[in-house]
Structure 1
């Protein structure tokens, strides 16, 4: 922060919620009048108890800094330990955990073909492995790309079997690196992987996730 303050042209972008102005109250830190500023510069969903009213979607706060001398961007994303990671996409409220823990459903993303041979449109695939001793129904499950596009899944994976899922729009596996997330029918993350541009640059090769 000191380097940013001293730098010519340094910028700080604060995303949060404005408060004030408080006409008859001085700022408790800097003393200027009227007191006003920006607060809630942190995740604003997944709250419970008296902070439930703060929940919402597309309103998380953050602090983004630009260091001009190196044209570098630095971002701070903050959250409280009491906030839930899994939240409803329409309300921002915590999603109630299922009675059976997701970790007991041992379906994993083990491989992906993100750069098939040939031009677009490419036949990208994601390979799922059921490592559990029981069949797993995929109805209501989804694959999610790095842009949060979802592809619904159906069918059943037998115990110890693998399923090759052909990727369909709007989901796309970019050749410049990305992420693949597997969600269950409750919208909870079952597994997630990431791959680099270097890995995706080998045309026709399947990326193995360990």
Structure 2
């Protein structure tokens, strides 16, 4: 009678152990890749916020540094100096800066949505220019709005505040850029000297 030959094979238990070990490795690899992906996305978001902060701050500094003392004062009762800060937020900061730019055009600087569903960003409103600088005069320039970089913000929000530094022609600019969900935020503060103005030319509303 012939004997059955013994064959070396894989038992069910060994297969189950092998699949379990493979599953552990796959889960670990997935978690590792997910972790690296999250870190990469955080770095990308933070770099984007940094870039937005740099570009917006550069524009704000350029505008305020060369604010002109030959302002076209459309409303003399409101604009008491060449740079007027208004919209006090309760903490000594202001939401709006009104001034004349280096070309002598009256400008209102703030941060808000542009009315077309875009995120909150830097807005420059060029005010009307009247003949003889009087609201009763003929309109020489209708005025316009300039919203910085539609699509530039990538769903990030920009908040801009101003603070007058007493006895100087300097304005402290406080710029905060945050992502849509508020997870990442960067606040930059910079003292901007209005080089063509005297200390009395920079005033806060009610000050």
TM-score range, shorter chain: under 0.3
Bigger CA radius of gyration: 2
Q: TM-score, normalised by structure 1?
A: 0.26
